[in-house]
Structure formats: structure tokens, C-alpha cells
Amino acid sequence: MIFPPTAITLALDFGDPYQDPLDDDDLMAEDVAEHWGTSAQQKDAVVRLLRTVCTKTQRLSDLTLSRYKHTVPLLGNILPLLPGLRRLDLSATSPLDVATLHTLAGLDTLETLTNAPIMNARIDGAFTGFPAMKTLSLSGGVKDVVQLLTAVVSRLTSLTITSYHSAMEWQTAFPRIEGPLSTLTAFRLHINACDTDLPDPDGTIRSNSEGVELEKFVAGLRAPLARVQTLRLSFDNIFMTCNDDQLARVAPMFPHLTHFELVVRGDWEGFPTITSVIAFARHCPHLETLLLPNLHSNSKDMLAALRPSAPVHTALRVLCMLDMGDVKIAARDVPLIGAVLAAIFPSLDVQACAEPPRTWTHIDRDFPWSF
């Protein structure tokens, strides 16, 4: 294999190239190509391949390993050969153990660690480190993530957490990670509450979607994220309580926002309307992008909310709604509503609104409706 010794970036995906990318039943390849031999031979071949590459490319600083289940022994073999590693991406790989995390924490050049899975790592004060870490993206339970964040000694600027634990568990955990949160300019949290059907004592089946009140949920984030600029909150399998009044009280909590996303896949009690958009724009003067999950309005209500509104002095360029199925706007009212929106939000970029961000089109696999 010819690999340029001056290369600084290497990305390896061990997934089946013939597998449907939308079929996530087995995101992690059990083994690499069958003609490589037995599983043990395959693991040995991958280790030898990467050891050779890492030995010959002293400038390698950016490494991506995707869909590989033997991540821990592999990293144990190659990390000592990467003294200048600055970025490591571990998409859809096996969970990292405490020894591997300890090794990563000792890399004084590592600035970005993304898609790092941790599960039952039992860190619990075993080490501290990550002196250069700026961007961290983790998937795991509350206990593992909290313990790892406590081990980070650097000032993080971007943090992404994906978790299958309940929103309530995270709500109570926020005070324990105020230190790492307080330096962030970008925070993204995705919670899948793992909707299950559980039998009541009488044997009937009931839905077990977790209830979340948005205002109460973000209250614990208000102080540590006082200066956050990018905030993305995503919930799966929950029952969301959120209306215009609540969103109007959430907006002033984060006055420095330039980008806010609220994604909810579940049931609702109370729905945001165009009034929420106006409130966010007024309380967040630097806001450029606002993505909300749902908008319940009709032509009459929307115009009633919009017409009394003076132009908002805001940077808002992109306004998107993930689901506008409950919006009932008569065709004859579209030009008028568009004109009023343009007058209230003079900075709106029609082209940018028509092309929603990749975070929505990729994760949700549907284009949101947008203004």
C-alpha cells in the first residue's frame, strides 16, 4: 500500500459498502471483508495496517475510524505512535474503556474528540487530563458522561452529548457539570427517552413516554450557559410541554444566542406559534438561525400576531419549522403573510430558509417546511 508520508488526515470506514445506509439495524461492522480470513486474522491485519501507516506518517494529526467493533485494542496499539494527534472521530465504534480514555487524556495535542461512545467505563476519578481539548462529542449514560467531563482539565468550547437516559436524570445532573458547561460557546444535547410500553398492574398496556417541560428543563442550564451562542436541544420519545409563554421565558435565559434548535419527536401539550419566533428574535438580538419543531397557526391567528409587531432589530436570517402540518394558511393570504414577515424580520434570507441546515435534513431524513 502506498501512503504519502506527509499525509495529515486518515479516514477508515469498516462498514459494508453494499449495505443500505438508511438501514441502521447493524451500524457497526461485525468484521471487515470476509476474504481477509478469520476474525482474529482480520483484527491482526487492521492493527498491522494502521501501525505501518502511523509509523510512516509522522505528521498524521486527524484520524477517523468508523463502524469498527474492536476499537479498544486497535487504539491501544496505535495511539502511542500518534504524538501529534489533534482530532479523533470514532463514529459507530465500540465503547471505550477506562484504560483507553486514560491514554487519550494523556495526549497533550488532542483538541477534538467526536462520536466517542462510553458505557460502564467506571472512570470515577481514575484520571484527569485532556489539556488541549476544545471540542468534545460523547454518547453514553449520565454517570459516564458526568465522570468524563469532570476529568477534563481544559476549557471546552463545544460539547455534544447523545444519551438514552431520561431527561429528568440529565436535568438533575446539570449542576454537577456546571464547570465544563460554563466555558462553552456551543452545546448540543440529544436525549432519546427510549419509549417503551409497560403493563399497568391491571395488565393494560400504557405508553411510557417521558414528560418534559421545556422551561423547567433548561432552568438548570441558564447559569452555566449564560454566554452560549449555539444551543441545540433534541428529544426523542418524550411528551413535550411547551407553548408560547414558556418559549418567551426561555429566550431571555440565553441572550447571546446566534443559533437555536429545538427538535422534538414525540407528543405535545401546548404548541409554539409565530409569537414564539417574535419573542426569541426580540430577546436574542444576535440570533441568526432559529429552528423550531412545530408551528400551530392559521391565517387569521398568524396575521393577528404579526400585524401589531414592529420590525425586530435582530440578525435573524434563517427561520425553519420541522413540521408545519398543523398550519392552515389560505393560499390568498400567503403573499400578505410573507410581506408582513419580511417587514418584521428584515434580515431574513429567503434562499437560506429554503435550504434547511444539514442537521435536520440528515438526522430527520425529511426536509422541514420553512418560511
Length of the chain equals 371
Three-class DSSP category at 194: coil
pTM of the complete model: 0.84
Tell me yes or no: is domain 1-154 CATH 1.10.1740.
Answer: no
Name residue 166's amino acid: S
Main-chain phi, psi angles of 21, to 5 degrees: -65, -20
Question: Which own/partner contact pairs does 163-170 have at CB distance under 8 Å and 24+ positions apart?
Answer: 163/139, 163/189, 163/190, 163/191, 163/192, 164/191, 164/192, 164/193, 164/194, 165/141, 165/191, 166/191, 166/193, 166/210, 167/191, 167/193, 167/210, 167/212, 167/217, 167/235, 167/238, 168/210, 169/142, 170/142
CA-based diameter of the chain, in Å? 72
Q: Tell me which architecture the domain covering 155-371 has in CATH.
A: Alpha-Beta Horseshoe (3.80)
Backbone angles phi, psi at 289, to 5 degrees: -130, 125
Place of cell 471483508: 33
Residue 30's DSSP bridge partners are none
CA–CA distance from 338 to each of 70, 137, 159, 302, 342 (Å)? 54, 38, 36, 11, 6
Distance CA 53, CA 42 (A): 17
Half-sphere exposure of 226 (CA within 13 A, CB side): 5
pLDDT attached to residue 346: 82
| The two domains 1-154 and 155-371 share their CATH topology (first three levels equal) | yes
What is the 3 state secondary structure string of 5-57? Answer: CCCCEEEEECCCCCCCCCCHHHCCECCCCHHHCCHHHHHHHHHHHHHHHHHHC
Q: Which stretches in the chain have pLDDT values below 50?
A: 18, 20-27, 29-32, 195-207, 361-371
Identify the bridge partners of residue 357 per DSSP, sorted by sequence position: none
Instruction: Tell me how far apart the terminal alpha carbons of the chain are, to the nearest angstrom.
Output: 51
What residue has cell string 470476509?
A: 34
Q: Any idea which residue has 400567503 for its cell? A: 334
Beta strands in the chain (DSSP E): 9-13, 62-66, 87-89, 112-117, 135-139, 158-163, 186-192, 197-199, 205-207, 210-213, 230-241, 259-269, 289-294, 318-323, 369-370
Contact status, residue 96 vs residue 71, Cβ threshold 8 Å: yes
Please tell me the predicted confidence (pLDDT) of residue 202: 41
What pLDDT does residue 100 have? 93
For residue 136, count other CB atoms closer than 10 A to its CB: 25
Q: Where along the chain do its domains lie?
A: 1-154, 155-371
Do β-strands 369-370 and 318-323 pair in parallel, antiparallel, or remain unpaired?
antiparallel
Q: Return d(Cα 87, Cα 103) in angstroms, integer.
A: 14
Q: Which residues lie closer than 8 Å to 103 by C-beta, 6 or more apart? A: 75, 76, 79
Residue 172 CB contacts under 8 Å (≥ 6 apart), including other chains: none
